[in-house]
Amino acid sequence: VTIFFSDIVGFTDISASLEPDKVSDMLDRLYSKFDALSSELQVFKVETIGDAYMAVANLVEDQASDHAKRIALFAQRAIRAANETAVDMDDPSKGHVNIRVGFHSGPVVANVVGTRNLRYCLFGDTVNTAARMESNSAENKIHCSAAAAECVRKQAPEILIRPRGLIFVKGKGNMHTFWVDTDTPALWEQRLPTIEQRQSLF
């Protein structure tokens, strides 16, 4: 699978400067856009926790041939959607939302645990590594691991990837990581094949 994480840059300060209902409204407007993108690109939304958004490809559908490509495209478009989302609809001076994005590719176990307030959970080091890619990312940038970069290069060679170099990642040690291009307008409108379309190829 390939796992996506994002969070809002400066969310603590935003929360301190806005009434709770305005924070809720901002998140609703932003994540409604992300939800629409996830449906369009057939990326599975796992959950939102505060200002964090988690999604995955190649989990509930067979997307072995393009899971990293889907997440890379989702990440590019999520940044554009965020940058078009006003922090406060009543106060343009507060500007628009900026996010950090990170993703990683690897194996996971998925399960529903417990008996109340059930939700689908993912387990494994892949989840932790994806979260670290996000937390070590930068404003309006897409950060990924070497494993994810290799998948993107195979599945979507047209997407530009630049080495970030060796960085220290908490809990992981030194890792070679990469920046994924965020300014590829032609890719924003790219449509990926549906399950039915993929099946028709065989």
- Please report the DSSP string for 80-124 in residue order: HHHHTSBS-TT-GGG-B--EEEEEEE---EEEE-SSSS--EEEES
199 falls in which pLDDT band (50, 70, 90)? Answer: very low
Output the pLDDT for position 57. 98
Q: How far is CA 181 from the centre of its chain?
A: 14
117 falls in which pLDDT band (50, 70, 90)? Answer: confident
Output the pLDDT for position 184. 59
Query: How far lies 138's CA from each of 43, 107, 109, 135, 171, in Å?
Result: 23, 25, 29, 8, 19
Q: Model confidence over 49-108: pLDDT tens digits?
A: 999 999 999 999 999 999 999 999 999 999 999 999 999 999 999 999 999 999 999 999
Q: Model confidence over 9-57: pLDDT tens digits?
A: 999 999 999 999 999 999 999 999 999 999 999 999 999 999 999 999 9
Mean pLDDT to the nearest integer, 138-149: 98
Question: Taking the chain, what is the end-to-end CA distance rounded to the nearest angstrom?
Answer: 22
Q: What is the percent of the chain with per-residue pLDDT over 90, rounded to a whole number? A: 87
- Phi and psi at 135, nearest 5°, equal -70, -20
Q: Across the chain, what does the average pLDDT equal? A: 91
Residue 198 has pLDDT above 80, yes or no: no
